Structure 1
Amino acid sequence: MTWWIKACLNGARRPDEHPAVPLTPAQLATAAAATAAAGAAAVHVHPRDGDGLETLDAGAVGAAVTAIRAAVPGMPVGVSTGLWIAAGDPDRRSTEVGRWATLPPSARPDFASVNLSEPGFAELATVLRAAGIAVEAGVWSVADALALGRASVLRVLVEIIDAPAENAVAEADAVLAALDAANSSAPRLLHGENSACWALIRHAARLGLPTRIGLEDVLTAPDGTSVNDNAHLVRLAALEQLRV
């Protein structure tokens, strides 16, 4: 059995960190198609502007989503709303994301991630829903989980950030327990980054939870060797799940 895997294609990574990091709409589309062929069920991307910088600009978001949908019809496409992309300004972020409603439905993301730890979660969730875009809640801690409570979201991203591998599973279990305590019934996805990534891929499999993998989260295989690209990571994640 394999579990649902979302491919996170680029994040804030730069090509000097890994040559296969996709930036342009065409590159994102090619990477998305390759991950779909490798078994990914959805993609999460950080659209870029003409200088390769992360952006919330409606034109850039629409171009990325349109290219991916053309390459992989039917694959759900999600984007980031990380507050850093708007230079830490929640009002600017809401304004820019609000312009996504002007995009044709075919160019709008299916979902967008919104981090509980960043100011303006509730306001931005309202803006996204008004545009017909589902909300993924990024939950990084027990405090985030309790703050989310019973909010209605597409799914909860249990994201263990900056944790050493040896602590990652315990931290994830604490967040999952807090979601239970808060009576959150939203579907959950569990993942980590860098050294904690692979331990949490395996833990998600043990718990029967969806997970995610891609160059946003990690640049190496479970044995520490380099990977070729996002599709390579998806294949490795599927193998890790089967070994659990």
Structure 2
Amino acid sequence: MTELKGVEEPAILIEQVGPVRRLIMNRPERRNALSESMMVSLSDALEAAGRDEATKIIVLAAKGSVFCAGHDLKELTSRRSDPDGGKHFFAHIFRMCASLMQTIINLPKIVIAEIQGTATAAGCQLVASCDLAICVNEASFCTPGVNIGLFCSAPMVAITRAIPQKQAMEMLVTGEVIDAHTAKAYGLVNRVVPQDYLRIVVDKYAIEIAGKSQEALKFGKEVFYRQADMTLADAYDLASHVMAENMLAADAEEGIDAFLSKRKADWPSLKE
């Protein structure tokens, strides 16, 4: 095959293996920074995966030694020469990032972060926004904005919803790096595994979850995030309503009948 010179590889590589779609950030030379183009590509890839009926689980991975270095500071700095000093572009970029994180939350499918290296600032936000996160022993995490005069306010939103407030505040005000096992102790990641086993473990989780009722997962993910900031009474009202709706779904009917009949469920949602 003739290699086309001057043609840049896609920002996101897509691998489909059965029901698992792996989205791989492919800008290792730029530390997979969340530039404007990277965020557009990643948002488009996530939304396409969400619409694809064959895809049941989404894995977010990256090439290189860095999972994601956060915003592209060179791109941001280059806009200081704009007539408004970059104000419009800065607001646009941070709104785009917020939208990207909410896309992950709002997808009806589980998103697993597969972290092979460092995740900083908005990269740490990306990890915190995924439903599950599995990393290698060598991975590290930080929100170092305070060290350059830019408090990680947007990453704070996701991080404070993933880990306890005292730990989140420590990360935000010190900018210090935490290792993989500290991240697990905080609750930022679910599992820490050897480098050689990362994909094996992620695929094991992905395949296991892909075999569950997709209707139940869709109901569950939505209510999980919606109830988080509600009062206890409102959360129970919402959960009770959703469970009643869930009971009417074909998967619930099949699953309960299978349980009572002591047989394996044959999920209707997996046939779609």
TM-score, with structure 1 as normaliser: 0.32
TM-score, normalised to structure 2's length?
0.29
Greater share of residues in helix? 2
The answer to which structure, 1 or 2, has the higher relative contact order (CA under 8 A, 6+ apart) is 1
Larger Rg: 2
